[in-house]
Homo-oligomer: A and B are copies of this chain.
Amino acid sequence: MRERVSVIGLGLIGGSLVRGLAAAGHHALGFDTNPTTRATARTAAAKAPENARWQVTASIPDAAANADIVVVAVPLPAVSGVFDALAASGFSGLVTDVTSVKGAIVDLAAKHLHTVGQALAGFVPGHPMAGRESSGFPASDAALFKGCAWVLCLEEQTSVGDWVRLAALLSEGLGVRVVPSTAAEHDRAVAAISHVPHLLAAALAGHAANDPLALTLGAGSFRDGTRVAASRPALTAAMCGGNAAATKATLDAVIADLQAARAALDGSDPIAALEPWLAPGATARLAWPPTAGEPEKFTVDAAALRELGRSGGWITGVATDRRTVTAVRPVS
């Protein structure tokens, strides 16, 4: 089904979205507050094949006026302003976002998107697990999301119809694996696989910085264990600090585990004591990434979708009547 989708914010993620949606045959519109970015995006659209062009609007109200679905693809600190602009424009369609923390976004939507006294926009919080070292519209790519996991949150208050509509857009248009979750479960999971890894990388790199010999001897395990420490501190701080509660809980668990390793090293036979401590991590890493099981069809149901995501599963397609989905679970 051809949708009218507006993407607010044309950085790496928003730019890739507008390109990918246009290429998939949707009516794609884009807007960015930066006039240079808008001009660059217009020029790029003119060079796209005729059936894969998008348009760039001059304002958020213009983008909203012509859309059924609005994707907010701006950094977390700019989200509330975009929500305010959408609410002020009277937009009553479907809104999603692409920021990396979801609990905070649910709170912002409640405060800024759902203005009292008018038709409410539906809101489905989202998060594509895609990124690159490079950023900005010039780095964007219609194929950026192919095969990536894309969380769509299904809160108690979320309309399942809205959720399925977005799941269809993303899975069919962009080749995304759509992962149903709640904001709380998402925030806990990304603390484990992204936010705390960033903190450990920073601690490792910062410790080695005191020892020039260590930096000269650093090889593969140092290179990979510290790679994300090179991220801009402001971005990492916004990511971890924006998800402070889950990051703290995960960090506490990881520190407690490292203290157990410390105790193992302190005994009379540290080698024997450390081996069983290391085993669960080795087993988990060897089994990662998860292998996809056979596709299964099931009837759309919020609780079943949440359970699917919780068990590590995802959606690869939505039936045209939007009553059933094709789901995949990892082989355990």
Contact = CB atoms under 8 A, between A and B. Distances in A.
Contacts of A284: 205-206, 208-209, 215, 226, 229
A311 interface: yes
Interface stretch (A16-24, A109-117, A272-280): A272-280
Contacts of A215: 193, 284, 288-290, 312, 330
A278 B225 contact: no
A86 B196 CA distance: 49
Interface in A214-231: 214-222, 224-231
Contacts of A240: 265, 270, 274
Given A275-B234, A282-B232, A259 B255 contact: yes
Given A208-B192, A282-B231, A216 B274 contact: no
A273 B234 CA distance: 10
A241 interface: yes
- Number of copies of this kind of chain in the complex: 2
Given A217-B149, A221-B197, A255-B255, A285 B207 contact: no
B204 A236 contact: no
B194 A222 contact: yes
Interface residues of A, number: 104
Nearest to A233: B278
29 contacts: A130-B219, A151-B217, A189-B214, A192-B211, A194-B219, A194-B221, A194-B222, A197-B225, A199-B258, A203-B281, A204-B254, A206-B280, A206-B284, A207-B253, A208-B284, A208-B288, A209-B283, A213-B310, A225-B225, A226-B281, A229-B281, A233-B275, A233-B276, A236-B278, A237-B271, A238-B271, A241-B271, A252-B262, A255-B259
Given A213-B312, A244-B265, 15 more contacts: A190-B214, A192-B204, A192-B211, A197-B221, A205-B285, A206-B280, A207-B257, A216-B312, A221-B227, A229-B285, A237-B275, A240-B274, A241-B271, A247-B265, A251-B258
